[in-house]
Chain A
Amino acid sequence: MNKMNSCDGRERALLWLRHSGLVVAILLCACRRDREPIVTSAEDSLASDAITDVNESIAFVERSKELGVVATYRNGEEQNHCTLLESLGGGVGWFDFDRDGWLDLVTAGGGIISQENQITGLSCALFQNRSGQAFQNVFQQAGFHAESLYSHGIAIGDFDNDGFPDLIVTGYGVPQLWHNAGDGTLILAAGLGSGIDDRWSSSAGWADLNGDGNLDLYLARYVNWSFENHPFCQDSKAARDICPPRSFEGLPDSVYFSNGSGSFRDVSAEIGLRTDGKGLGVLLADVDLDGDVDAYVANDTTDNFLYFNDGRGSLEEGGLLSGVALDDNGIPNGSMGIDLCDFNRDGLPDIWVTNYEREYFAIYRNEGRGQFLHVSRRYGITDLGGLFVGFGTVCEDFNTDGFTDIVVANGHVIKFPDASPRMQLPLYLRFNGERFQREQAANGSYFDTVHEGRGAAAGDYDGDGDIDLAVSHLNAPVAVLENRFIAKNHSILVELIGTSSNRDAVGARVDLFQDSGPPMSRQIVGGGSYLSHSDRRLNFTLPDTIEMADDAKPFSDLARSLRLTVQWPSGTNQTLTVPSTNRFIRIVEPLASDAQGLQRGRQP
């Protein structure tokens, strides 16, 4: 959320304002004036040819209204305070809250700001999924009264390992920890740590950082804005606007270790956190493949952090060293959304980051040994056409062509932007094996319409085997986007249940091996996207025919040769043969003596 706001003192990489002698040359030199003026041929235009011209449009259908998902995130901008608080927006989260096999949806409610500078929260919504056909907001019945908090983020994790997913709601005030009682209700749990910490929090992620089998919490915090620290900022046309993040000091993030009983202790000071970030996005994943969960933090206008875990929860920040702190010009970006994906299928997890409008969205290609390279230009990310302020983002193979696609929810952060509009088109980027291409949306469809997008999360809410989406907007209804791509290929949905490891199996890595070629790798991550939570189940799609060394065989013939290996956070490794395709597979972590551990799950 890096806002220029005319001139905000941001780092200018090559700002050599003083063009020695140039002013005289330009202003005072003699200049011929006897020619008729002409119009230059370099006209403003969107690079429309950057949009791929394939026939297939983006096959998502917006169904929120007919499904009964009626929820709007409110940011309280009506009083024109122009607070930074208004720009963050809210998140969404997919989770099977009642464990009926269908993904439910939780959405942040935001808040209102009175004329007298009073900040009040609004209800979050909890939509119970009725067999994929309808949703009902059950927040009242569930006792999910989160309205004491001006909310932003949703992060879901079974922090007490009881099999029922719990959640945390972040925002401007004390974050709320909600324990899922398993009877259809959520109970507000005791606070995090010993004291009351109401510093502004944004995204959060759950993962077992210290390897004790319980989920710990990484909580990103933003900046020290308050009404007591609310400078007057204006845009280039002198209208009051939201101040850029550079006007404020960053707040240090927090890490809470689980005590194992549903309570937590604040270990932020002990484990080596940096204090100079302005955190908006969190991704917890094993990026260096050493068997523990690392933490990547997207910061707004300051260096992004990559904390390498020593396996016991001690974190060492090495973002700069590993090449993921800055862009390829060595400049910190206004980073918001994050996801992990092995887009080039080399078995190494890459990091995808959405950024502010004049910055490239970033693909940090994993070079191995904890090293990354910013390669956005090489893969077409710099040729999207137009400028975008990217927030929520999900990497998934939505169209089941075997390659990772990327969805980005976009929208500006200030009221009167100059370079790009406040409401922006969402992006669907299709990877063709060499480059990402921006896909053309059908007229009038969700992806053909501008929004002020914020949180985004993926999940197969209708149980048809493909990945759907939920997207949150500023002051506009949440969208539920049903995936209508015609399935080209076979998909396998894998759910992991930890026993020695944390029950959510965050940090587990699953590789799908074919007879030849590199495996398809996926990880169960904590956090990700922006303020949002995607379904934890892992989706694999495989080409209809797999090119072998000598010929191509139908997939069904090859299914028997597919193997799944699971590396559990506990260190247990497991190898399984895939029983068939188009399957939902639930894998329970085996005890040391149990070699199999595979259960056949049902397709919900």
Chain B
Amino acid sequence: MRLGWSVIALIAMVTIVAGIPVVRRMTSPSKEVLFQKGLERVSRGDIVSAREMIRSLHANGAPEMALLVQARVLLAKGFLQPAIDSLEDVEGGADIVKMKLLVQGEAAYRMGQHSETEAALIEVLAIDSQCVDAHRLLAASYYDIGAVHAAIHHLTQTAQLSPRDPRPHRLLALIHKDYELFDEAIPLYKESLRRGPDQPDRDDLLFEMASCQVKMRQPREALNTLAMGRDGIHENVLRAECQLGLGDIEEARTLIVKVTKNEADNLDAMVLLGTILLEDGDATGAAEVLLRASTKYPKDYLCHFKLAQAFTKMERLDDARQEREIAEQIRTLRKEFAELHQVAWDNPEDPKVRLRLAALAAELLRPDLEQVWLHAAAAVGEIVFQPQP
């Protein structure tokens, strides 16, 4: 009897030991799952877990997938060229090639290499025209070089393929806003808000949308929009502008005072206050505010334009003439700057126009824009450009 139980126990043990690999094989994830998990870990920033997945993929005989996840890790850590290089020898089916090109496209985009980005991602779309990430990256790349037509096309595709993603509409709205197509921008903002009511930069979106409504002569609607967002300095300046638009000068004045208490040198607030004082007939007060503004922001056109008016009213005619001349110089620069945007839009591969835009941005004391256009020029042409840190 004892012997019998012993035999049974032995058989059971042997069965269990022998069955472990089988069970393990039956319960361990497939390489596809490991691959997805790996990508997920990378996107979560969990590099340690991602590396485990890489090891598992190698162990499971999926070296290409392992390399793809590894390339994603490199990408996440900012090793862009190594990410591209690591995939040099990766081959496989359409899915593998697509993933490889996506990584390479993203790396190239982040290195500011527009042509390489474009080449890789167009190839991705040839494999899978519905690849939302390719459309998204292409939109970003085209936007960066000022090829806005193409950017809009890919943003629209992204929006269609990703119906709950609020980001494409946000950028579409921003593009339309920048090109003063405010009427088209407003519904795009609304759609973005509908898709992502709690998107991270909701307050910025509301501010941008309210700015468009102000431009569309909808001060009441703008105030409603602002009421849904934060009570910040820029918002209060815009509220003041709305109140001016509604003819409530005192409310506008109150808001401006509130703004300047927190930020004495706020340009828009100073210009608005100068405007109100000028209309009040207080040219001296207006000149004082506007002079302070123009000293702080020497390339602001409106400051000099209004200051010239204040000086004229005060009969300081030489000062007025000087301010008017400065305003006209800035106006000329701004006009060229605005017109060249159109040229850049229509000529997506032209580095010269982008360099000129960068030079104009520098003249207008906008180093941030100068950098962006220098990047754009470098991305589309053979221009050696050392980005500033």
Q: Which residues in A have some Cβ–Cβ distance to B below 8 Å?
A: 4, 6-13, 15-20, 22-33, 35, 37-42, 44-45, 47, 49-50, 236, 320-321, 323, 326, 328-330, 358, 360, 367, 371, 373, 375, 377-380, 382-387, 418-419, 435
Question: What chain A residues lie within 8 Å of B140 (beta carbons)?
Answer: 23-24, 27-28
Question: What chain A residues lie within 8 Å of B368 (beta carbons)?
Answer: 20
Annotate B337-374 by CB proximity to A: 1 below 8 A, 0 otherwise: 11101100100000000000000000000101101110
User: Counting CB contacts under 8 A, is B230 at the interface?
Assistant: no
Shortest Cβ distance from A554 into chain B, in angstroms? 34
Q: How far is A4 from B302 in the complex, measured between Cα atoms in Å?
A: 23
| Given A15-B179, A27-B167: A32 and B198 interface contact (C-beta under 8 Å) | yes
Q: How far is A113 from B219 in the complex, measured between Cα atoms in Å?
A: 42
Q: Which residues in B have some Cβ–Cβ distance to A below 8 Å?
A: 43, 136-137, 139-140, 143-144, 146, 148, 164-168, 170-171, 174-175, 178-184, 186-187, 190, 193-201, 209, 213, 215-221, 224-225, 228, 244-247, 249, 275, 278-279, 301-302, 305-306, 309, 312-313, 324, 327-328, 331, 334-335, 337-339, 341-342, 345, 366, 368-369, 371-373, 376
Question: What chain A residues lie within 8 Å of B139 (beta carbons)?
Answer: 27
User: Which of these, B174, B221, B324, B373, contacts A45 with CB under 8 Å?
Assistant: B221
Q: Is the CB–CB distance between A47 and B220 below 8 Å?
A: yes
User: Which of these, A23, A377, A419, contacts B183 with CB under 8 Å?
Assistant: A419
User: Which of these, B178, B244, B324, contacts A16 with CB under 8 Å?
Assistant: B178
Q: How far is A202 from B135 in the complex, measured between Cα atoms in Å?
A: 49
Q: How far is A21 from B168 in the complex, measured between Cα atoms in Å?
A: 15
Shortest Cβ distance from A433 into chain B, in angstroms? 13
| Chain B interface, >50% SS class | helix
Nearest residue (CB) in A for B43 is: A30
| Given A9-B342, A11-B334, A40-B193: A358 and B182 interface contact (C-beta under 8 Å) | yes
Q: Is the CB–CB distance between B168 and A27 below 8 Å?
A: yes
Q: List 7 A-B contacts (CB under 8 A).
A: A12-B341, A31-B166, A33-B165, A42-B225, A382-B219, A382-B247, A387-B217
Q: How far is A9 from B225 in the complex, measured between Cα atoms in Å?
A: 29
| Given A15-B338, A45-B221: A378 and B312 interface contact (C-beta under 8 Å) | no
Q: Is the CB–CB distance between B166 and A42 below 8 Å?
A: no
Q: Is the CB–CB distance between A383 and B247 below 8 Å?
A: yes
Shortest Cβ distance from B378 into chain A, in angstroms? 14
Q: How far is A132 from B213 in the complex, measured between Cα atoms in Å?
A: 47
Nearest residue (CB) in A for B195 is: A37
Nearest residue (CB) in A for B213 is: A42
Question: What chain B residues lie within 8 Å of A367 (beta carbons)?
Answer: 313
Question: What chain B residues lie within 8 Å of A31 (beta carbons)?
Answer: 165-167, 196, 199-200
Q: How far is A8 from B194 in the complex, measured between Cα atoms in Å?
A: 31
Q: Is the CB–CB distance between A11 and B339 below 8 Å?
A: yes
| Given A320-B324, A373-B309: A7 and B345 interface contact (C-beta under 8 Å) | yes
Nearest residue (CB) in A for B223 is: A42
Question: What chain B residues lie within 8 Å of A27 (beta carbons)?
Answer: 136, 139-140, 167-168, 171
| Chain A interface, >50% SS class | loop
Q: A12-B178, A40-B197 are in contact. List 9 more A-B contacts (CB 8 A).
A: A11-B335, A15-B337, A23-B140, A27-B136, A42-B224, A44-B186, A44-B187, A367-B313, A384-B217
Question: What chain B residues lie within 8 Å of A383 (beta carbons)?
Answer: 217, 219, 245-247
Q: How far is A435 from B245 in the complex, measured between Cα atoms in Å?
A: 12
Shortest Cβ distance from B109 into chain A, in angstroms? 9
Q: Is the CB–CB distance between B194 and A358 below 8 Å?
A: no
Q: How far is A382 from B219 in the complex, measured between Cα atoms in Å?
A: 9
Shortest Cβ distance from A502 into chain B, in angstroms? 33
Nearest residue (CB) in B for A436 is: B247
Nearest residue (CB) in A for B222 is: A42
Q: Is the CB–CB distance between B196 and A33 below 8 Å?
A: yes
Nearest residue (CB) in B for A18 is: B372
Q: Is the CB–CB distance between B245 and A382 below 8 Å?
A: yes
Nearest residue (CB) in A for B186 is: A44
Q: How far is A30 from B136 in the complex, measured between Cα atoms in Å?
A: 13
User: Which of these, B168, B171, B199, B249, contacts A378 with CB under 8 Å?
Assistant: B249
Question: What chain B residues lie within 8 Å of A17 (beta carbons)?
Answer: 146, 148, 175, 178-179, 341
Q: Is the CB–CB distance between A378 and B190 below 8 Å?
A: no
Q: How far is A127 from B186 in the complex, measured between Cα atoms in Å?
A: 48
User: Which of these, A30, A33, A358, A378, contacts B164 with CB under 8 Å?
Assistant: A33
Q: How far is A320 from B320 in the complex, measured between Cα atoms in Å?
A: 11
